[in-house]
Amino acid sequence: MKIFYSTTHQLHEPPFELYEGGIHMPYLENPDRMERILTTLKTKAWTEIYEPEDFGIEPILAVHDADYVEFLRTAYKEWMQEETDYEKIMFLPATFAPRGCSRVPKSLLGRAGYYMSDLSAPILEGTYQAALGSANCALSGAKAIQMGEGVAFALCRPPGHHAGKSNCGGYCYLNNAAIAANWLSDAGKVAILDIDYHAGNGTQDIFYERGDVLTISIHADPDFEYPSYNGYADETGAGPGSGWHRNFSLPAGTDDARYLSSLGEALDLIRSFSPVSLVISAGMDLYSGDPLGSFKVTRDAIREIGARVASLNIPKLIVMEGGYNNEALGENIAGLLEMFIQGNLLERKE
């Protein structure tokens, strides 16, 4: 399996995050996540690791608003040039835009509250470069399956599925899966299957009114879990996209059987949509014991998820999203990928 990975992710390493109630916590979306995965994957005979190619800014601007991307690119430098009397550690907003606000403020902190949806996605000096590298990993994987690979894996960091057209949040800055899916859509219909524990609200935002990209997210019910404001079952698309978005919002404590039942429904939807390619947003925070999750999904079930999705006879791009149990992360993602390799070998024999 071709795996695309860039060391640029190491440029993004926030020193802490502000958790519920303003508690300073270790930043869970940290570089160690990728190193744990990479260390495990290098022990596998089927691993082929590649540097991503640079696709330029155009595929990103095809998904994200240009003014938002410019904000990501310039915010940290602009902040450092401002004269202040406090220590500058990482850039975060002081206020957030109220509902219905469409005016983009002129001040830097005002723009921060407009483009940043929460406190989990701070901007550091290297954040923009890390996000570009992550998007290029996804695009390189998309190119690989377009050129004939049955399956490819984009080892993306920062993750992307919470990033909308014009906002970052939930550790995400550029929506890697959406950028890749949009790039692939030039060749025909694309489906996105998000198996991260949290709803793929950014992906939903980007494709909600499009009929050529089916988006499905299987996740914890936002009534009790992040992102709170999107990811509900009655959000099914609008305009040309009406009926082409589906949220499976599951309760706390969801076990293997409950999860796999929802996955079966999702796979039926994908089959009926008949896409020419599939993008999987692979978050491993669905795993039992993840510090940000409440599901009881086992490693065996993660492998079963891989086996069932691999049975779809279309090219597949797997994009790394969340997963914060670093001790288990490498083996969990390796187990998932191994099932795709087995499925790909079966397709070739057929």
Number of CB atoms found within 10 A of residue 346's CB: 13
How long is the chain? 350
Judging by beta carbons within 10 Å of its beta carbon (0-12, 13-18, 19+), is residue 309 exposed, middle or buried? buried
Judge whether 145 and 152 are in contact, CB under 8 Å: yes
Quick one: DSSP state of residue 29? S
With DSSP H G I counted as helix, E B as strand and the rest as coil, what are the percentages for the chain, rounded to 5? Answer: 40, 15, 40
Q: What is the DSSP letter of 317?
A: E
Name the one residue in this structure whose structure tokens are 């305009």. Answer: 239
Alpha-carbon span 45 to 100, nearest angstrom:
52
DSSP conformational letter for 52: P
> Torsions phi, psi of 273, nearest 5?
-75, -25
* H-only helix segments in 8-150: 31-41, 58-61, 66-81, 108-115, 127-146
Residue 162 annotated as catalytic? yes
Cα–Cα distance list, 259 to 93, 268, 346 (Å): 37, 15, 25
Other residues' Cβ atoms within 10 Å of the Cβ of residue 298: 16
Task: Determine which one of 9, 162, 198, 219 is catalytic.
Answer: 162
Q: Which residues contact 217 (CB under 8 A, 6 or more apart)?
A: 194, 196, 199, 200, 203, 204, 231, 246, 247, 248, 281
Dig out the tokens for 275 from the structure. 């896409």
C-beta atoms surrounding 51 within 10 Å = 14
Tell which residue, 253, 55, 310, 280, has the closest CA to residue 154.
280
Enumerate the active-site residues.
162
